[in-house]
Amino acid sequence: MIRMAGYHFGWWDAAGTVTGDRPGKALRSALTLGAATACGGSLAAAVPAAAAIELLHGFTLLHDDVMDEGRTRRGRPSVWRVWGVGNAILAGDALYALAFKVLREYLPVAVAHEAIGRLTAASLELCQGQQEDCAFEQRSNVTLDEYLGMAVSKTAALMGCACAVGALCADADPVTVSAMDRFGRELGLVFQFVDDIIGIWGDPSVTGKPVGDDLLRRKYTLPVVAAMSSGGDAAIELASLYNSPDQMTSADVIRAAALVEAAGGRHVAEQYADERLAAAIDALPHRSTSAHLLTLTRVARHRDR
């Protein structure tokens, strides 16, 4: 299981050989460290919380790839394809346990107590969000509100948690911890909306995923949901492509991307991302000490993978 976990984190290949492959972005753990220093804490004191966030995130990706039949992760076959579904579930379960273990063993008792509360609450929200996302796949239509509720649970909750536990490690007061949670949640929405844009218009050589991957899998992402709810001819044609029983061809994917753009879906997603970015920066409790966090907001908004 150590082999699988290290492979999943991009540390080595399936044989355990260190390859210098590109690891994950580690954005969530960077948020934890950034929040800690913004609140006047040390980096060292927040490292266990940052590790726990990365472990929890790794757990969700391992299980999500099984549920979504995600075939690639960071440009390589996902763990379930290399070692089977059972092992991918188990490796995820083990990372989940390790997240709590790290918090408990390496943080002061009172801080661990608060951090564990944040992680359990975020975990439950993540389960809820993933459940909604999976349920969308059986649907012929998803409203903007339904999509936004899912995005808050599936993505924003963990980013909020990452920032809140960073603040906890700096012994921040409850008002500051809540503000950091708010900041992380707003940034999480930025991250998700940008993810949705990349999922349609991203460069496969940069993302490590097939072109138009989200369209091929008929996912209800923000650009798609916004386009479908726009009501014009492009929306109708897009809905008919999404509700066809046939496998999408490459031509269908290109056509769907053009329809989403024509129906204003891309524009809405870009606009929403900018709005949540402004809201995130507004929520920041300690602007003057938050240079690292402000850098991360720019990374979240302007990344290409």
Q: Which residues bind its own copies (CB under 8 A)?
A: 1, 63, 66-68, 85-87, 89-90, 93-94, 96-98, 100-101, 104-105, 109-110, 112-113, 116-117, 119-121, 123-124, 126-128, 130-131, 134
CA distance 202 to 210: 9
Residue with tokens 């503000």: 179
**Residue among 186 and 214 whose Cβ is closer to its own copies:** 214
Per DSSP, the three-state class of 24 is: coil
Least distance in Å: CB of 83 to its own copies? 10
Neighbours of 55 (CB within 10 A): 23
**Residue among 121 and 241 whose Cβ is closer to its own copies:** 121
Q: Which helix (H) or strand (E) holds 73?
A: strand 72-73
Least distance in Å: CB of 20 to its own copies? 28
Burial class (CB in 10 A: 0-12, 13-18, 19+), 15: exposed
**Residue among 66 and 284 whose Cβ is closer to its own copies:** 66
Least distance in Å: CB of 30 to its own copies? 24
CA distance 80 to 71: 8
**Residue among 55 and 293 whose Cβ is closer to its own copies:** 55
**What does residue 246 show for φ and ψ, rounded to 5 degrees?**
-80, 150
Least distance in Å: CB of 66 to its own copies? 6
Q: Which of 3, 44, 2, 50 is nearest to 28 (CA)?
A: 50
Least distance in Å: CB of 246 to its own copies? 22
**Residue among 83 and 242 whose Cβ is closer to its own copies:** 83
CA distance 13 to 281: 39
**Residue among 121 and 239 whose Cβ is closer to its own copies:** 121
Can you give the length of the chain in residues? 305
Termini Cα distance of the chain: 27
Q: How many CA atoms lie within 13 A of 189 on its CB side?
A: 24
Instruction: Please answer whether residues 31 and 294 qualify as being in contact, where contact means their C-beta atoms are separated by less than 8 angstroms.
Output: no
Least distance in Å: CB of 152 to its own copies? 17
Least distance in Å: CB of 288 to its own copies? 34
**Residue among 33 and 88 whose Cβ is closer to its own copies:** 88
